[in-house]
Amino acid sequence: MKILVINGSPKKENSDTMHITRAFLDGMNEVSENEVHTIHAACMHIEYCTGCFSCMRNGGNCMLDDDMRGILEQILESDLLIWSFPLYCYGMPAPMKALLDRTLPLSSMAMQKVGDRYEHVGQADFSHLRYLMICGCGFPNSKHNFEAAVAQFKLCFRDNHTILTVPESPMFSVPEADVVTAPRLELVRQAGKQYAATGEIAPALSSEICSPMIPEEQYAAIVNGTTA
Ligand SMILES: Cc1cc2nc3c(=O)[nH]c(=O)nc-3n(C[C@H](O)[C@H](O)[C@H](O)COP(=O)(O)O)c2cc1C
């Protein structure tokens, strides 16, 4: 399988969230070896979409000549897109949002009604594509935190999507926290294995991965420097 990892963290390889993504890929590769390419959105030259809509009228050609041309080709050649990003202001970081906006050439101006909502008709066939969101965040709660990012992902990628949200993720980059992060990454590895084998992650495993690694009050006290 061809996997394209789009890393939205401006911290690139040092991203807390990428620890989760790498563990997931390790699990997938245990089932069968995959061809994995990673894009660090913050390292790419991606201009903001200007909203001219010319791409939707002229067969998918964007007026802007930058790295997005190659990225669109990579997207279409992939079987799985992994959107790996930290939660920023309840959404995705700006470099990744710029990249997402610039996928507009994959859609045409034509609109179709699907159920009770409208969406644009594709200019390319990407029915083979699957989408995985892996999102870390700094707060200990998942409630009142991830909702907007999850809703956006589901609306953008109606079919074939899977979502993992992981709170307290700065701990993944702290070696002293290994006692709690290593077991969590092991669960993520199992999730990757399940996903590669069945295309799904069992709801119980998913909920466990999305729960805080240490009690939220303890985490907040460590961050606030108020532990005894
Ligand atoms: C600009 C900015 C906005 C953030 N907004 C949120 C937020 O809305 N909710 C949250 O829980 N954490 C928030 N965080 C914390 C990051 O999600 C957290 O530090 C994460 O572990 C960083 O992951 P990374 O190393 O993969 O970039 C924010 C951090 C920054 C720098």
Supply the range of the domain harboring residue 173: 2-224
Query: To test ligand 1's pocket by mutation, which of 18, 40, 90, 137 has the most ligand atoms within 8 angstroms of CB?
Result: 137
| Position 228 pLDDT exceeds 70 | no
Tokens, residue 140: 């200990």
Which atom number of ligand 1 is nearest to the Cα of residue 17?
26
Q: How far is the CA of 59 from the centre of ligand 1 (A)?
A: 37
Q: How far apart are CA 85 and CA 225, in angstroms?
A: 26
Interacting residues of 7 by C-beta distance below 8 A, sequence separation 6+: 15, 17, 18, 21, 38, 39, 40, 41, 84, 85
In the prediction, which pLDDT does 185 show?
98
Cβ-based burial of 210 (10 A; exposed 0-12, middle 13-18, buried ≥19): middle
pLDDT at residue 45 in the model: 98
Q: Tokens for 87, please give them.
A: 């939660």
pLDDT of residue 113: 94
Structural domains of the chain, count = 1
Cα of 223 to ligand 1 centre, how many Å? 13
Ligand 1 centroid to Cα of residue 81, in Å, is 22
Would you state the pLDDT for residue 198? 97
- As a whole number, the mean pLDDT across the chain is 95
Residues with CB under 6 A from ligand 1: 9, 11, 15-17, 86-90, 136-139, 145, 169-170
Mean pLDDT score, 94-115: 94
Question: Helices 178-198 and 16-31: crossing angle, nearest 10°?
Answer: 40
Read off the pLDDT of residues 58-99 as tens digits, 9 standing for 90 and up. Answer: 778 999 999 999 999 999 999 999 999 999 999 999 999 999
Q: What is the CA(35)–ligand 1 centre distance, in A? A: 29
Q: Looking at ligand 1, which atom is closest to the CA of residue 169?
A: 21
Q: Whose CA is nearest to atom 30 of ligand 1?
A: 88
The CA distances from residue 127 to 36, 54, 56, 78, 131, in Å, are 20, 23, 19, 11, 11
Q: Can you give the length of the chain in residues?
A: 228
Q: How many CB atoms lie within 10 A of CB 101?
A: 14
Q: How confident is the model at residue 109 (pLDDT cuts 50, 70, 90)?
A: confident
* Mean pLDDT confidence for 170-195: 98
CA of 86 to the centre of ligand 1 (A): 5
pTM: 0.97
More confident residue, 228 or 33: 33
Reported as a single tens digit per residue, the pLDDT across 2-59 is 999 999 999 999 999 999 999 999 999 999 999 999 999 999 999 999 999 999 887 7
Determine the distance separating the centroid of ligand 1 and the alpha carbon of 90, expressed in angstroms: 9
Q: What is the pLDDT of residues 121-158, one digit of tens each?
A: 988 888 899 999 999 999 998 889 999 999 999 999 99
Atom of ligand 1 nearest to the CA of 85: 26
Give residue 87 CA to ligand 1 midpoint distance, Å.
5
> How much is the pLDDT for 60?
82
Instruction: Please report the pLDDT score of residue 124 as a whole number.
Output: 83
Instruction: Give the domain CATH number at 208.
Output: 3.40.50.360
Residue closest by Cα to atom 6 of ligand 1: 88
- Asked if 90 and 143 touch (Cβ cutoff 8 Å), the reply is no
